[in-house]
Chains A and B, each alone.
Chain A
């Protein structure tokens, strides 16, 4: 029920509006409920055969109540619905801000489509609860209370009889609430499963096409869709029963008034005017009763949605600023791994990906990491900007544990060019400025030049302002990688991490980039992952990783002399090259 607590917090923020809207609602309801009372007076006048003038008074009152009530109704609906929209807007913003704090590990365990469905559909359901839902939650009891009071004032016996019928309402409510709740939860779950499938299918469209996967993919979707259809019909059956039941229940009260009230009238225990007023009061109750089923599902959907949102909200950002952050000073920014181990704790029993990693990179030196696929190289670099936190051991930047540094400063000090280049669907310039929002066009051009991308951007239709497709889809793999490299350089960090970021770039271009790089790298600390000996061999120190452990370390010459894994790797590449010569 933590979701409901969060919801009330949001409601509190707009308590003034809700209060004002609620007051208008009370006003309009009061006026509306006075109308049958005056009608009763008018009929009394008519029954008694009194002069027209008194009737005119009642008619005038009713007309004024109608106009005043109408105005207040409009105001109250606008205020309350808009307050609901404000909360929707706030929750969506807060959810986004919360998502921004969650670490990479969270996204690796979640489906994008599912998160999107929460941010759009679930928040929408919550908004319904806070707008129309709130309005009716206030309105409906008010109607019943007013009706009870006025009816009671007219005739106690008849009121009791009507009230007896209405207790059946509680029964219907009890019966259906749980069922609708469960059914709509099942519908929503299936909906997010379907969304997730669609999301994945769309992201992998090139594979779907290349491997002619349209049919199996559609088949899977059809299965999900059929399940969704079945679940929706379960829900429709519940909802479909509620409305006719409520209509019948309302009719039953009218019947009671007619029969019992008629009998009382015939025996002169009440007047026809009272009977008419009873019918009119029941008329007012007709709509809230008919809307009962809708209300229940609105509330249940809203609550279920809020719980689903809460599932996201309650995920503590595992990686956050320390309580007492140590500011990053100007001290030398060497990096040190002290007995670091790491395991993805997603499912507990996962084996550690990195074990007992210790090394030091003094300021301004270069470290290269090599190792076979899956040996843990990328994971190791993820630990430095705290995309993941170490499981044990510590990483220090300039002698300070990175977990005591403010996240923003830590990440600001690091330029990271990832293995999978990710660009956003905006202009090339905007993408590069991720590194430094204030960068001038000149600086942007300079880093493009370093990444050997300037001449290519030059011929794009809009130059720097050319938009790249989603995830940079309109660029070639090599262009994307070089753009992400340029982005990292633009940030002008002290520590540069290159995670095999030139793998899609041809060697000639790579050579040019590396050449231009020297000036950039000059006094920067640098960690490079690569498979290319040309890059690795120039490092001050080389680590060879295998199964998450460092199996060899040293510089190029010493490793070659040692004749271990590295020397073997090197020799194989050499051999390949020599074969090229033949």
Chain B
């Protein structure tokens, strides 16, 4: 999103080019939409069948009116009475058919849009992380809510009846021709102009509608960021500038809509004028024939009724077209999202291939709720990076040929400067991203060959930014797994030494958690993330600076519990504090995407390389102001 005001004009011009280039995939889109209607086709067809029924009863009314007027002219009271009764019956039948037709079509609409929403939602769950890097939350949200809403409007506005409208027009013209060809031709004299006008409108409006939707999506995306970031905007007194940016987006949306308003108004007024003009022509041409007794007043009335019925669908065309156009754009965007490739199955052809021989246990895909088996098979937890290359952006590799191995049950600490690629290793292990070159293997199998869910259940990850879902503490610890008992959660709290902390919260385990865990401090959130690990009880544990924001006091308590959960488990720990990694079996030192050193603490200290220097620095820094160094012994700590 170009934010500088100067760029707005250029951006708008570019936008228009894009929208012109956006070809009509309408047939293809309709075909895809049909796939969602298909499961509900019985109701759909029933509704479609009622449409002609409703119209037949409607079209018969002018004929009855004609008969009535003729009876009046003839002074025939009995015929007048009977035609009136018939008229009433037709009216009633029309209303009933109309209601059921509308109701059933809304039923179809609601059902298939509900299906569509769930489909989009579950598809989004499977999109790779790189998709979310590129697409702001607001934009994705527009797809899932507003765009689907627009499709619903298409059903509600009866826009699906556009084809039926065409049949209606043909039927009316046929009836008029059979009544009186001359009058029919006169009445239809305005039609060619109208059709021309509609075509011009269709071409103009098509681009504008697309433009409008692009721009409202921008407004949405901006809000999606500005609302959660409001504190930052306020802290830096940015309100005015942010307002200007928002105003820009808002204004360009309004301007696009203005144009469409003018097109719409022109078409509407043209149709209305044509209606009255047709009446004038009818009088002018028919007047003489009425005089000569060829045409009755009743025929004239019937014609004026048919003309009205003819022009209603034409006048509503602009509305329906707008709705359909918006719906098609919306559908296109939704399908575009649905076409975005998901994470699974990756390179391997089958989504869930036969497990590798060494890990041939059926427990691989085991739900996280079940505690890990007591005996860990030899290569169960093994993790291997084999000459891994990776970049988030082209030509900017973050990992450059990284190779290391974590043996089952081994604890490996990864250290290095920020941006050296440590966090990326975790993301590759959980397959948030796929490697550009080389391979990451877990349990002896390439992660791309794993069933994705099984892979992720296999490891417990505590990320830097702890994210909690709104709900309560308990639901966040159970993470949607109803099989987790409360006792198990309590045990986890005990193990993580977090019992006291949770007890102090108002409501304890039921304490509310707001959006993103907003009402808890970063430290509290991290503590909860750790408790989660005790609940999940994974075989491979991955910790990314999990304790960095927890104060020393809490961290100290948690350390002991960590020892417990890390025992017999394959662990990868990313931490900056040497105290956190002192117990690691092996230390991997990253520097600018390559591994500089690898070995145990003692080995690396002896080597006197990067790790040694890092260690020295850290110690000097923390010990510089030490006036009274503590004299605790190791036993007191462990």
Contacts and interface: CB of A to CB of B under 8 A. Distances in A.
Contacts of A107: 227-228, 230-231, 518
Interface string A212-244: 111111111110011011001100110111011
B576 A505 contact: yes
B508 to A, nearest CB: 14
Given A78-B261, A272-B69, A476-B418, 4 more contacts: A121-B149, A476-B423, A511-B621, A534-B621
Contact of B464 (A62, A370, A461, A504): A504
Nearest to B256: A85
Interface in A309-365: 344, 349-351
A73 B269 CA distance: 5
B257 interface: yes
> 5 closest pairs, A vs B, by CB?
A216-B480, A478-B418, A70-B273, A373-B523, A576-B579
A371 B552 CA distance: 9
Contacts of A136: none
Contacts of A13: none
Given A275-B72, A279-B65, A508-B617, A258 B84 contact: yes
Contact of A479 (B134, B277, B419): B419
B632 interface: yes
Nearest to B271: A70
A251 interface: yes
A298 to B, nearest CB: 12
A212 B457 contact: yes
A312 B240 CA distance: 20
Interface stretch (A2-10, A88-96, A140-148, A518-526): A88-96
A270 B51 CA distance: 38
Contacts of A39: 279, 283, 304
Interface centre among A220, A491, A531 (most CB of B within 10 A): A531
Contacts of B167: none
A570 B91 contact: no
A55 interface: yes
Interface string B615-636: 1011101111111111010101
A383 interface: no
A108 interface: yes
25 contacts: A60-B280, A66-B276, A85-B261, A88-B254, A100-B234, A103-B234, A104-B230, A104-B234, A108-B518, A119-B219, A120-B219, A120-B223, A121-B149, A211-B456, A276-B300, A283-B304, A286-B308, A387-B234, A416-B235, A471-B225, A474-B393, A477-B423, A569-B552, A572-B632, A572-B637
Contacts of A117: 145
A371 B554 CA distance: 10
Interface stretch (A153-161, A170-178, A198-206): A198-206
A266 B392 contact: no
Interface string B249-278: 011011001100110111011101111110
Contacts of B234: 100, 103-104, 385, 387, 411
B591 to A, nearest CB: 11
A129 to B, nearest CB: 16
B601 interface: yes
A469 B134 contact: yes
B427 to A, nearest CB: 9
A294 to B, nearest CB: 9
A39 B297 CA distance: 12
A577 B627 contact: no
B106 A236 contact: yes
B501 A374 contact: yes
Contacts of A582: 634
B247 interface: yes
B34 interface: no
B453 A81 contact: no
Given A78-B262, A212-B456, A460-B396, A572 B241 contact: no
Contact of A202 (B133, B137, B287): B137
B450 interface: no
Interface residues of A, number: 202
B562 interface: no
A368 to B, nearest CB: 12
Given A244-B95, A506-B416, A237 B103 contact: yes
B230 A414 contact: no
Contacts of A55: 283-284, 287
Contacts of A213: 479-480
A439 to B, nearest CB: 12
B220 A115 contact: no
B418 A506 contact: yes
A579 interface: yes
B420 to A, nearest CB: 9
Given A39-B283, A437-B241, A505-B418, A203 B516 contact: yes
A32 interface: yes
B548 A574 contact: no
B71 A262 contact: yes
Contacts of B393: 460-461, 474
A32 B276 contact: yes
Given A240-B103, A580-B601, A570 B273 contact: no
Contacts of B404: none
Interface centre among B261, B276, B284, B548 (most CB of A within 10 A): B276
B132 interface: yes
Interface in B13-64: 61
Given A35-B276, A556-B625, A248 B467 contact: no
Interface in B569-611: 576-579, 582, 601
B511 to A, nearest CB: 11
Is the contact region of chain B dominated by helix, strand, or loop, or is it mixed? helix
A115 B227 contact: yes
B306 to A, nearest CB: 11
A477 B95 contact: no
A512 B135 CA distance: 35
Contact of A387 (B227, B235, B415): B235
A152 B281 CA distance: 27
Nearest to A62: B280
Interface stretch (B121-129, B169-177, B330-338): B121-129
A233 B107 contact: yes
A255 B72 contact: no
B103 to A, nearest CB: 5
B403 interface: no
Given A77-B265, A233-B110, A437-B241, A531 B549 contact: yes
A280 interface: yes
B269 A71 contact: yes
Interface string A21-55: 00000000000100100010011011001001001
Interface stretch (B73-81, B203-211, B377-385, B434-442): B73-81
Nearest to B233: A100
Given A63-B277, A200-B470, A240-B106, A373 B297 contact: no
B87 A243 contact: no
B283 A93 contact: no
A221 B121 contact: yes
Contacts of B490: none
A252 interface: yes
Contacts of B464: 477, 504
Interface string B487-527: 00000000000000100101000000011101111111011
Contacts of A121: 145-146, 149
B118 A262 contact: no
Given A85-B257, A96-B246, A262-B68, A111 B470 contact: yes
B344 to A, nearest CB: 11
B521 to A, nearest CB: 5
Contacts of A42: 283, 287
A233 B84 contact: no
Nearest to B58: A247
B95 A225 contact: no
B413 to A, nearest CB: 12
A473 interface: yes
Contacts of B80: 258-259, 262-263, 266
A11 interface: no
